[in-house]
A = this chain, B = another copy of it.
């Protein structure tokens, strides 16, 4: 069965929200694991609007402590509490967020009914910050005005998919299954070797998504996201405002497209649009001059990375 790798954009505005665009937040569903990436003001309202059962979120990744990337966290945690959450929540963030939340819980007299596990991010050195059976999350160095990092969600190498009928036909014993799933041939009880290709459909390609929240155009970002399938990169301004972009540690749509082209990704999503742009199509057109497969990450947009056909590599 195909497993999900689906991104929902919850907010696409930079700095201040507009009537139609909330500030940054995204929900990534990898095989029914729900990851919240950034959490701008009113994220909990967006989650409700898009009918996402948000108690299923167990991991929240905050790229940096500018309000448009985390102000919704306090309200979301409060709602988790009021709705009787049981599961712990893991929060990954640069230093400071724990204190920001603690002081607010203190003044509101709230003792959360679930555990909050804080993971402080080292924004200078990329590393794996989360790992489970099927995926890893690692940080990406970004270049912003305050400590800030991006995140890459990578599926682990997929297992070879067993062809049950063939396994029964050849009489492959259950004890061989771990080896077969890892790509090895099977050895029957009588010593006969059955080629892996005869009893599996091959394996699917591991998928990856990189989130680059707020950053200047920077070669380290290109290196960090090299070859991912789906790339989200901020594109706050049009390129005519390049100086403004540099000054505010942001990227232009043209530069975002260049990152995607040089990093050889599959698809680019742009977002974090300045409130000055009502029509986003010029930003899209500009990014496309560098990288054709670019899409607008508008509020409510959904992007899937489909399973690839079974292969042998």
Contact = CB atoms under 8 A, between A and B. Distances in A.
Interface in A39-83: 41-42, 44-45, 48-49, 65-68, 71-72, 74-75, 78-79, 82-83
Given A16-B83, A44-B16, A82-B16, A100 B104 contact: yes
Contacts of A71: 41, 71, 74-75
A72 B17 contact: no
Contacts of A22: 45
Contacts of A247: none
A146 interface: yes
Contacts of A125: none
Interface in A99-115: 99-100, 103-104, 107-109
A18 interface: yes
A78 B45 contact: no
Interface of A: 15-19, 22-23, 41-42, 44-45, 48-49, 65-68, 71-72, 74-75, 78-79, 82-83, 96-97, 99-100, 103-104, 107-109, 145-146
Contact of A19 (B41, B45, B68, B103): B45
A125 B243 CA distance: 54
Contact of A108 (B17, B49, B67, B109): B67
A99 B100 CA distance: 10
Nearest to A106: B96
Max chain B CB contacts within 10 Å: which of A68, A78, A99?
A78
B15 A82 contact: yes
